[in-house]
Structure 1
Amino acid sequence: MGGGLFRYIYCIIFWWISLPLDGWTQSSEADVFNQLKATSSDTVKLRLYNTLSRLYWAKKDTHQLKTYTLAALRVADTTQQSMQLGQTFHNACHYYRLKTLYPKAIEYAQKARAVFQSIAYTKGVGNVYNTLGEMYQDQGKYTKAIDCHFNALRIAEKSKNAQMISASLSNIAAIYETIEQYDKALEYFEKALKIDQKRKAIESIGLTQVNIAQVYYHQKKYAQAKKYARWSIQNARKAKVPLIEGVALKFLAMLQSFAQDTLNATANFEKSHQLMSTQDQAPEYVALLLQMSRHYLQYKQLEKAKKYGKIALTKSLRIGTKKETKGIYKVLSSIYEQQGKLAQALEYQKKYAAYKDSLLTIKANNKLIQHELEYMYSKKEAKIKSDNHRQINQQSIYLYIISFGLLTVSLFSFFLLKSSRKQNTLNQELKEQQQELKAVNKHLQQKQTEIESNNQELKFLNHRLKSGESVITKAYDQLQTRNKQIKNNIRAAFTIQQAMLPPVALVRQLLPEHFIIYQPKDIVSGDFYWINEIEGKIIVIFADCTGHGVQGAFMSLIGHNLLDKLILQQRNTDPASILTQLNEQVLTALHQQDARSIDGMDIGILVLGKTTEGQKQLVYAGAKRPLYYLRPNNHEEIQVLKGVRKSIGGTQAKNKSFVNHQLALPTGSMLYMGTDGLADQHDYQRKKLGSLRLRNILTELHTLPIEEQETSLFALIQRHMLNTEQRDDILWIGIRV
């Protein structure tokens, strides 16, 4: 279904709604709260409550939005029509919409519209029409939705507000896309794009371009689709809008997957997932997860496909995106069928069959066609009336001039004849329009008969499916509750672990040319890295803790905290000394002197000193982890500084000591370091990548720009893991000194 997979309209809606109404100021929360404390005027309080309501609506904070909307309703004078009263009703509409209480939301929207109309505030009326259109669209009532958006468009055109015109055109286009009227969708998206380009609104241009790419995809015009997707990515990066970039990358990945460009498709899907997982746009995230599940299903990576499909289903059911839910049921049914789990496959196939949106779309499509024809007919009729009025005025002028002579009468007769022919032409066009409307109405009646017949069949199928629905639903709800509790706990641990890693800005400042590939096996990781500057020395640490997932994550927290103590508090910058003290403190923290515990970590510590006469001074010490390096313009084998064969913690040989390796390298040299997850990764034939092959690959890559090294190494990892599961956490760091 068009528009079902890619919910770009939500971005447009958010952009439109976030436009400030007149009288609403961009104040900070602290400023508004200070003003509230200082005032006793209900009029001032109402304005400030509305300001806070708009602020929390933009943040989708339902609780705070309710608090200040209700406060505004308490102090508002409903007997006096004002802009602030209209905004109060509009904010109440936003609250009930977030709660999906659409009848109540529509009631307050209509109250807001009435207030704005009474005070002749046309921009406010247009905003309310747009909100009503969005709510009707949320409910699948496309005829009412497009009627509201056309009303908003008329108001925007009358006020010559280019931003509002563009938003209304995009919303109308999105509805046509949803009902598979792709030519109409493309027409309105292109109108919106021209306006955005004239305004030089980079963010809006990027959004509209990815919408156009989607329409071309549905029309199977893949070259044009890819071109617009790439343009959208460029503009999203210029505007620094991660959500639009993520959506465009997702769409580019879909095109690459369709073209069987597996490596680039996988890489772009993962980049899109990284950008969109942090954004508060659940419908778009669900659409991405669904496409990733389809991608991995296509290439027989069934566990990954099932993983993303399950996550997508949970979120889709929570937010109520019916089209995505239907698609997810179909994918999960196929996955279980290929795994030989026929009972689960049948269960999801039944749920997929229960969705009957296709017939509803046909019905909405017919109504929308009729609606637009009526709209175009009304514009044409208005134009004809305007032309007739102008011609009558011309005729009056000619009659007045006839008194001046026969020459004037002849000239008047000539123009009258020309005008009469034009009138006949216009009348003929009007008759043809009426005939076309009659033909369309007849076609709609035939379609209505087909729809009624199909509805009877659907009722019969629905009766059969409901018989086993209650038992399945109860068991499913119990599993969902348990699964949600576990995932919430793991996500909390993931947030803590992400906060532990060094900030991206700090790493870029200390290491201008570097890359870090950090790919946990599970949500949380046993690998971590630590980067900071102490007394003019840059310290880079990478570690592989025992185990992975939750077990490894706990060990990584212990290691990170001990490193903070040894380096930041005790100011220790000697790698071998840091490893020795870290080993002692891990033994103490885990009581390993008395218990036979093997928990610990393999770790490497690199200290980068000053650059003198083009030579970078460095010191390295490792516990079972090596450091690889290559000098610039050197085509010889990669060099290795080996670590001591002794881990941190656990039952280790006490007679082995950690050793520093000192080295001076010319600027431009490459350093590589990382955990064993990359070299130990199996391919689908259970063959490891191996340290030797990894070293050869690094030798080939080291002369490339650092970004191309990262992309090539990431693609290598994805290609090696094709049709198999990741067996361990992966961490790999490259630095050009």
Structure 2
Amino acid sequence: MLDQSLLSQSRAGLSEIEAEYIASSLLRVCPPVSPQHTNLEVTKLLNEHPELISIAVVEDNKPMGLITRNVFMEGMAKPYHHDLFDRKSCIAFMDKEPLVVDQNMSIQTLSFKVLGSGRKTLNDGFIITDENGDYLGLGNGEDLVRVVSFLQAEKNRLVTESINYASVIQKSFLRSSRESMAAVLQDYFMHWEPRDKVGGDYYFCKKFDDGFFLALIDCTGHGVPGAFMTLIMASFLDHILLEDNRHDPAGALAIMNKKVKTALGQINDSAAEGFDADRFSTKQNGQSDDGMDTAFCWVNTQNSTLTYAGAKTALFYIGDASSDVQLLDPDRKGVGYVDTPMDYQWTNQQLALSKGMCIYLTTDGLIDQIGGLKKIAFGKKRFSGLLQEHYLKPMPEQESIIMQTYYDYQGKQKRRDDVCLMGFRF
């Protein structure tokens, strides 16, 4: 639960603009069900409305819980579950503790509540009620993102007051990825170092039966704005990987691009049906220019292959029988930016993995850091030289060497950006 002192600080200094953008501005009228509805009826409703992420369960117009599409469908897909549950009450698959908010709640307070409740609410949405607690409809994370994008500049001071709590939240989002890495890799390192307390660099790892999906993400900006962008990207990535898109990193990038451009109003047409993109934009012309540079990787552990798609983020690798550092070059378009077309297609590149091969990814915070006697960028050549010299050492030892070299090179120069760097030995 969010610390009450932080909430009270966040309320200080809110202007009239918060009165205009409240929870009801996110309201989507969605048909609810009651405890008398069976799971078979819920299945039919979800099939008839593929746009529904969740369905509210209400009784006497009071919300009781939330049925999430993914949880429900996965549960009903198990052997014999249709026979067991089809005619039973839908509350069997209901989340009994969803986030329920009043329609007049400010966007600032709603944002803290959603962040405090974790990734579940960003993915599944929340229930909106009237002043009597009666069900009105649902809100979702993507619509919240659009509003927060607009309010970000006006409320920067208020977000900054909660920066320490935001740091805790961001680190908690990374925990599951660290756990997945530890489960699928033996010799690896992951170095995540925001320039400020929180940052715009993010990493993601998810284990599957046939392999694991890995992403290194560099969002627009750093500090609080960058950190909020990472939460957006993490939520979108979770949704994308619920399908079979993990086997197609380039296709996943294309879906991510459309989601980001739509959510942040970085398109010429209206951002979404029934939603005015210009109203929530961060620029006067109706467009923000936010997005990410990233590398998406699918590692198939069954046939020992790595499929890579890069958006301005290269992949470095060293074969088991060679000390030469080689690169898989990325596409030169980032994800979500105004100059990236809505229908842009990234390219998959496949790499055959052999035992002992080393794979490295880094955001540009390391490569672009100014330092040294000539006060120039650290650069890919210097980075590759370090890898070539030390790749036979254990990965944690390589991490220490690379980062100490980086700190020495930076010297007294100002840190330019967040740094995120990873390596693993197959």
Q: TM-score range by the shorter chain?
A: 0.5 to 0.7
Q: Structure 1 residue aligned with 2:216, among 537, 542, 561?
A: 542
- One-letter amino acid matched to 1:563: L
Are residue 710 (structure 1) and residue 399 (structure 2) matched?
yes
Maintained 8 Å contact 1:628/1:638: yes
Are residue 516 (structure 1) and residue 190 (structure 2) matched?
yes
Residue 588 of structure 1 corresponds to which residue in structure 2?
A: 262
Deviation (angstroms), 1:633: 3.5
Deviation (angstroms), 1:506: 3.0
Describe the shift of the 1:643–1:608 C-alpha distance in structure 2 as closer, same or farther (beyond 3 A).
same
Are residue 619 (structure 1) and residue 307 (structure 2) matched?
yes
Q: Take 2:170 and 2:340, find their aligned partners in 1: how far apart are those partners?
A: 31
Secondary structure in 1 matching 2:297? strand
| Range 541-550 or range 711-720, more displaced | 711-720
Deviation (angstroms), 1:535: 3.7
Q: Structure 2 residue aligned with 1:646, among 329, 333, 350?
A: 333
Maintained 8 Å contact 2:160/2:224: no
Q: Take 1:656 and 1:570, find their aligned partners in 2: how far apart are those partners?
A: 20
- Count of residues in correspondence between the two structures: 249
Q: Take 2:386 and 2:198, find their aligned partners in 1: how far apart are those partners?
A: 28
Deviation (angstroms), 1:486: 7.3
Are residue 672 (structure 1) and residue 360 (structure 2) matched?
yes
RMSD of aligned alpha carbons: 1.9
Describe the shift of the 1:572–1:535 C-alpha distance in structure 2 as closer, same or farther (beyond 3 A).
farther
Are residue 690 (structure 1) and residue 379 (structure 2) matched?
yes
Residue 631 of structure 1 corresponds to which residue in structure 2?
A: 319
Maintained 8 Å contact 1:632/1:703: no
Describe the shift of the 1:653–1:582 C-alpha distance in structure 2 as closer, same or farther (beyond 3 A).
closer
Q: Take 1:487 and 1:525, find their aligned partners in 2: how far apart are those partners?
A: 13
Residue 491 of structure 1 corresponds to which residue in structure 2?
A: 164
- Runs (5+) with no aligned partner, structure 2: 1-156, 269-285
Deviation (angstroms), 1:725: 2.3
Maintained 8 Å contact 1:683/1:722: yes
Q: Structure 2 residue aligned with 1:723, among 412, 416, 423?
A: 412
TM-score, normalisation: structure 1? 0.33
Q: Structure 1 residue aligned with 2:350, among 633, 644, 662?
A: 662
Deviation (angstroms), 1:700: 1.1
* Counterpart mapping for 1:415-564 below 5 A: 488-503=161-176, 504-564=178-238
Q: Higher relative CO (CA 8 A, sep ≥ 6), structure 1 or 2?
A: 2
TM-score, normalisation: structure 2? 0.56
Q: Take 1:516 and 1:597, find their aligned partners in 2: how far apart are those partners?
A: 31
Secondary structure in 2 matching 1:645? coil
Residue 86 of structure 1 corresponds to which residue in structure 2?
A: none
Secondary structure in 1 matching 2:310? strand
Are residue 605 (structure 1) and residue 278 (structure 2) matched?
no
Q: Take 1:517 and 1:540, find their aligned partners in 2: how far apart are those partners?
A: 14
- One-letter amino acid matched to 1:570: E
Secondary structure in 1 matching 2:213? strand
Superposed CA offset, 1:440-487 (max 9, x none): xxxxxxxxxxxxxxxxxxxxxxxxxxxxxxxxxxxxxxxxxxxx9876
Q: Take 2:332 and 2:169, find their aligned partners in 1: how far apart are those partners?
A: 31
- One-letter amino acid matched to 1:647: G
Secondary structure in 2 matching 1:547? coil
Q: Structure 2 residue aligned with 1:700, among 389, 392, 399?
A: 389
State percent identity of aligned pairs: 33
- One-letter amino acid matched to 1:497: Q
Maintained 8 Å contact 1:628/1:641: yes
Superposed CA offset, 1:380-411 (max 9, x none): xxxxxxxxxxxxxxxxxxxxxxxxxxxxxxxx
Deviation (angstroms), 1:554: 1.2
Deviation (angstroms), 1:508: 1.1
* Counterpart mapping for 1:313-332 below 5 A: none
Q: Take 1:700 and 1:725, find their aligned partners in 2: how far apart are those partners?
A: 27
Instruction: Say which one has the larger Rg.
Output: 1
Query: Which of the two has greater strand per residue?
Result: 2
Deviation (angstroms), 1:653: 4.3
Q: Take 2:159 and 2:236, find their aligned partners in 1: how far apart are those partners?
A: 28
Maintained 8 Å contact 1:602/1:624: yes
Superposed CA offset, 1:90-145 (max 9, x none): xxxxxxxxxxxxxxxxxxxxxxxxxxxxxxxxxxxxxxxxxxxxxxxxxxxxxxxx
Maintained 8 Å contact 1:679/1:690: yes
Q: Take 1:487 and 1:631, find their aligned partners in 2: how far apart are those partners?
A: 45
Q: Take 2:160 and 2:228, find their aligned partners in 1: how far apart are those partners?
A: 17
Q: Take 1:492 and 1:513, find their aligned partners in 2: how far apart are those partners?
A: 32
Secondary structure in 1 matching 2:333? coil
